[in-house]
Amino acid sequence: MERDDIIEYSLHAHHSEEEGKKIRKKIFVVTAILSIITAVEVAMGMVWGKAHIDVNGSGWLMIKIAFIVLTLVKAGYIILVFMHLGDERKGLKYTILVPYIIFIAYLFFILYEESTFIEYIKGIVHWV
């Protein structure tokens, strides 16, 4: 018995060959960009891992910042492409992205404040 409630959508796709090529090209570009960013992150981890090379002070801070920036770029690109936010109007993009940017900045502020407070407490305890 043949079911009539299942629709085969691939038979109803009315895309021309040119539209199909554009869609496939976009998929390859997105895959390439995300793969390159991931490869850069992995290469940075292999080269500057704590077990391999001892990077002191500000150098290690720059490596951490680079990881954070690359991860945020990748996350933003994923949101723009896979959640179709890149196709929306500029106002809607800002309405969605600005609160997240403010929240991330707030988290960095809290991280900085707490890390300096720990150093402050270490200084007080050292003098006592």
- Please give the structure tokens belonging to residue 82: 């896979």
The reply to whether 95 and 121 lie within a common domain is yes
Q: Is residue 25 part of a domain?
A: yes
Do residues 53 and 97 lie in contact, with contact meaning Cβ atoms separated by under 8 Å?
no
The reply to whether 79 and 22 lie within a common domain is yes
The reply to whether 38 and 68 lie within a common domain is yes
The reply to whether 53 and 110 lie within a common domain is no
The reply to whether 81 and 100 lie within a common domain is no
DSSP letter, residue 29 = H
Whole-number pLDDT of residue 70:
93
CA distance 103 to 26: 31
Q: Is residue 81 part of a domain?
A: yes
Whole-number pLDDT of residue 8:
62
Number of domains in the chain: 2
10-residue mean pLDDT series, the chain (128 residues): 63 72 90 95 82 64 85 88 85 88 91 79 66
Q: Is residue 71 part of a domain?
A: yes
Buried b (16+ CB within 10 A) or exposed e, 40-53: eeeeeeeebeeeee
The reply to whether 96 and 70 lie within a common domain is no
The reply to whether 25 and 52 lie within a common domain is yes
* Helix ranges restricted to H, 2-49: 17-47
The reply to whether 61 and 119 lie within a common domain is no
Is 14 in a helix, a strand, or coil?
coil
Q: Is residue 106 part of a domain?
A: yes
Q: Is residue 8 part of a domain?
A: no
This prediction's pTM: 0.64
Whole-number pLDDT of residue 41:
92
CA distances from 65 to 46, 49, 101, 110, 115 (A): 16, 14, 16, 16, 16
Whole-number pLDDT of residue 88:
85
Half-sphere exposure of 99 (CA within 13 A, CB side): 5
Range of the domain at 29: 17-87
- Please give the structure tokens belonging to residue 124: 């007080």
Reference 93, options 107, 104, 83, 103; nearest CA is 83
Q: Is residue 107 part of a domain?
A: yes
